[in-house]
Amino acid sequence: MRTFVAARSLFERLLEAITILLMTSLAVVVVAAVIYRTAGVSLAWYDEIASILLAWLTYYAAALAALKRAHIGVPGVVEALTPVLRVPLVLVAEAVVIGFFLLLAYYGYIVLLVLEGDTLVSLPEVSTQVTQSVIPIGAVLFVLAQLFGLPEEIAAARRGVHLKTAEDYVAPGGGGAP
């Protein structure tokens, strides 16, 4: 069990580091583009790279949110059920989510095969396979995040309580998540 907890912690730190790196990179690219545009020079590659960074940020941050169980959920439904139904419902819900992301990973890989030889318009030296690799990679990371959170989710369902979610971080008075 200690190895599992260590692996989960390492996975969380890795996702946090990648998310921070992507967020910082996106901010630097956008600020650089604004500075260049203000100076009267436009970066030809800015639009493509910024949208790719945003897509990557979305996939990696979604996996991190899944690991922290911060996606929108309806824990009240699970809590309202009898103990006999809670765990099966959680298992079915997890199976549906994991199944969807495994399907996404498979078709994301198929997309990579289709894109073989294609490059970015503004940066022809960059393969679109590299830029779109986030689809299967992000899907697999999401599946891993779900699996890492599954033991806690099942234990919470057995107890009839929900794990902390994004709603639990809302400040009194509706101040929003941190």
CA distances from 46 to 39, 52, 122, 131, 134 (A): 15, 10, 9, 14, 19
Strands (E) located in 14-170:
none
| φ/ψ (deg, to 5) at 68 | -90, 5
Q: How many CB atoms are located within 10 Å of the residue 166 CB?
A: 16
The DSSP H or E segment spanning 99 is helix 83-114
> In a structure prediction context, what are the per-residue pLDDT tens digits for the chain, which is 178 residues long?
799 999 999 999 999 999 999 999 999 999 999 999 999 998 999 999 999 999 999 999 999 999 998 887 777 777 788 878 888 998 999 999 999 999 999 999 999 999 999 999 999 999 999 999 999 999 999 999 999 999 998 888 888 776 555 455 455 555 554 4
Token pair 């990679």: residue: 137
Q: How far is Cα 66 from Cα 147, in angstroms, rounded to an integer?
A: 10
> Residues with Cβ < 8 Å from 44, sequence gap 6 or more?
122
**Domain boundaries of the chain, sorted by first residue:** 2-164
Quick check: 60 and 141 in contact, CB under 8 A? yes
| Concatenated DSSP letters of 54-93 | HHHHHHHHHHHHHHTT-S---HHHHHHS-HHHHHHHHHHH
| Rounded distance between C-alpha atoms, residue 142 and residue 140, angstroms | 5
> pTM here?
0.85
| Chain Cα centroid distance, residue 137 | 10
Report DSSP state, residue 161.
-
The token duo for 8 is 């989960």
